[in-house]
Amino acid sequence: MRHQPVDSSLFSANRKRLACTLEPQSVAVVNANDLLPVNADATLPMQPNSDLFYLSGIEQEESILLLAPNSAHETWREILFIREPNELMRIWEGHKLSRDEASRISGIKTVHWLSDFPAIFRQLMHESNQVYLNQNEHGRASSEMETREDRFVRDCLKRFPLQQYKRLAPLLHRLRLVKSEIELELMQKAVSITNAGFKRVFRYVRPGINEAEIEAEFAHEFIRSHAYFAYSPIVASGSNACILHYQTNDRPCRDGDLLLLDVGAKYANYSADLTRTIPVNGRFTRRQKAVYNAVLRVMRAGIEGAVKGKTHRDWTREAQEHMNEELLELGLLKPRDIRNQTPGSFACRKYFMHGLGHALGLDVHDVGSMAQPFEAGWVLTVEPGLYIPEEGFGIRLENNVLITTEGPKDLTADVPVEAEEIEERMAKNLRRKISIRRNASQKTKRSA
């Protein structure tokens, strides 16, 4: 666990909220993620299961959470199962949780070793009327690889075919959309670390620097702050910025290029998702600034429009209508393009082909239905962009916004975004570098 301990009251409250949504005499199960293999005998680093973390704070492989809120066995209403440590495991893999440690992290009083799971689970299955099993039901999830949850579902259907099974994911999706105060504090921490990464990068960007070097500066700031990349960073200069999910990050940045930085930190498994576009040489051209400010106006309007009760569809449509107007002013669209657009395909999609934003939380593209109206406690990204391959640049800006009953709250308001502010910050850093070099040269001359 790289991050500071999280108050176990968060996980206890989340379990209580989930228990209230389960039907009487139910049992629910959530499994840890697999350790994913790569080549030879190697595996990827452990990626905690977001649902398991949300309900228990546990980040250790092979863990299982079992909930039976109405069980006659009071100590079986919440049970956590973890690997039993041994000396060989300690030597090869390092420290594993003790039962006391797992209980302290999760707030769950009953912690068993995994070897106890089959017998306890079988008895609870026979006592229960409904069984809630979990799977990854994100609308854009890849189903090519079978997960630990998938195998568990298949095994349950085989061994207990007469049970009444229900889907746990829809219940968790609704709960996870609404963030608690502790969750918001962790997300704000992720934002603060991300902001520090951007400020660091502003000091290093210059003509000739490679995109990979810029990624390394983000990594330096995130790792020293006990965080990770929340997703594969996009460091895209020049025409690379027109590739929406560009991740090669290996081209030198040229004088006159714009540099699109879509980078976020993950702290205590909670994500930030931030995008800025800056001039490599520190100054926007007149054309670049005009396009930049058009995107900024759409983002500002999108933030103001992220209000309780609005639907994601209406919110996105408002941004597309606004972007049509901006593209007319920029000369990229003509009135006939807008007259000829269809209801499902706005004219702006030639240059702004993605959505306005998505839910954010434990996952960058967080779970939860965007078909229902926005509610207080949701956190959304607001990320309009314009991509103009024929002019060799793309611009995207992205902030993270909390929906409240009083209106939207911009969690990323402290991150520089105005074109003039970015130019001034980069100019200040350039003056600082020149001053350092001048002082170093004078010291060398005096010592000679």
Kindly give the interhelix angle for 181-204 and 9-21, rounded to the nearest 10 degrees: 120
Continuous H helices in 286-407? 286-304, 312-330, 335-339
**Residue of 198, 192, 263 lying closest to 225 (CA atoms):** 192
Assign 246 to helix, strand or coil: coil
What is the model's pLDDT at position 448?
Answer: 62
What is the model's pLDDT at position 342?
Answer: 87
Name the catalytic one among 73, 245, 287, 438. 245
pLDDT in tens, 66-83: 999 999 999 999 999 999
Assign 258 to helix, strand or coil: strand
Please confirm, yes or no, whether 220 is among the known catalytic residues: no
Please confirm, yes or no, whether 173 is among the known catalytic residues: no
pLDDT tops 70 at residue 153: yes
Average pLDDT over the chain, rounded to an integer: 95
What is the model's pLDDT at position 86?
Answer: 94
Name the catalytic one among 17, 200, 354, 425. 354
Please confirm, yes or no, whether 226 is among the known catalytic residues: no
Lowest mean pLDDT among 1-10, 77-86, 237-246: 1-10
pLDDT tops 90 at residue 446: no
Cα distances (Å, whole numbers) of residue 329 to 196, 230, 323, 354: 35, 36, 10, 21
What is the model's pLDDT at position 15?
Answer: 98
Tokens of 376: 């207080």
Name the catalytic one among 77, 176, 276, 396. 396
What is the model's pLDDT at position 141?
Answer: 85
Name the catalytic one among 51, 183, 217, 383. 383
Name the catalytic one among 41, 87, 100, 390. 41
What is the model's pLDDT at position 97?
Answer: 97
pLDDT tops 80 at residue 439: no
Selected residue with higher pLDDT from 143 and 321: 321
pLDDT in tens, 356-406: 999 999 999 999 999 999 999 999 999 999 999 999 999 999 999 999 999
Please confirm, yes or no, whether 314 is among the known catalytic residues: no
Please confirm, yes or no, whether 262 is among the known catalytic residues: yes
Please confirm, yes or no, whether 273 is among the known catalytic residues: yes
Name the catalytic one among 304, 365, 391, 425. 365
All domains in the chain, ordered by first residue: 9-177 (3.40.350.10), 181-432 (3.90.230.10)
Lowest mean pLDDT among 295-309, 361-375, 430-444: 430-444
Which whole number is the average pLDDT over 115-141? Answer: 95
- DSSP β-ladder status, 64-67 and 26-31: antiparallel
pLDDT tops 90 at residue 84: yes
Which whole number is the average pLDDT over 306-332? Answer: 98
What is the model's pLDDT at position 321?
Answer: 97
- Residue entry with tokens 């962790």: 186
Helix, strand and coil content of the chain, in percent to the nearest 5, comes to: 45, 20, 40
What is the model's pLDDT at position 438?
Answer: 64
What is the model's pLDDT at position 434?
Answer: 64
Please confirm, yes or no, whether 396 is among the known catalytic residues: yes
Please confirm, yes or no, whether 354 is among the known catalytic residues: yes
Distance CA 29, CA 155 (A): 13
Name the catalytic one among 215, 273, 326, 366. 273
What is the model's pLDDT at position 362?
Answer: 98
pLDDT in tens, 321-349: 999 999 999 999 999 999 999 877 899 99
- Residue entry with tokens 């006391």: 100
Please confirm, yes or no, whether 3 is among the known catalytic residues: no
Cα 192 to chain center, whole Å? 14
| Burial zone of 402 (CB within 10 Å; 0-12 exposed, 13-18 middle, 19+ buried) | buried
Distance CA 236, CA 255 (A): 14
pLDDT tops 80 at residue 51: yes
CA dihedral defined by 12, 13, 17, 20, rounded to 10 degrees? 60
Tokens of 260: 């699109």
Which whole number is the average pLDDT over 207-232? Answer: 98
Cα distances (Å, whole numbers) of residue 382 to 6, 106, 319: 28, 33, 10
pLDDT tops 90 at residue 444: no
Banded model confidence at residue 440, pLDDT cuts 50, 70, 90: low
Name the catalytic one among 358, 363, 366, 410. 358
Name the catalytic one among 54, 228, 246, 387. 387
Name the catalytic one among 262, 326, 366, 410. 262
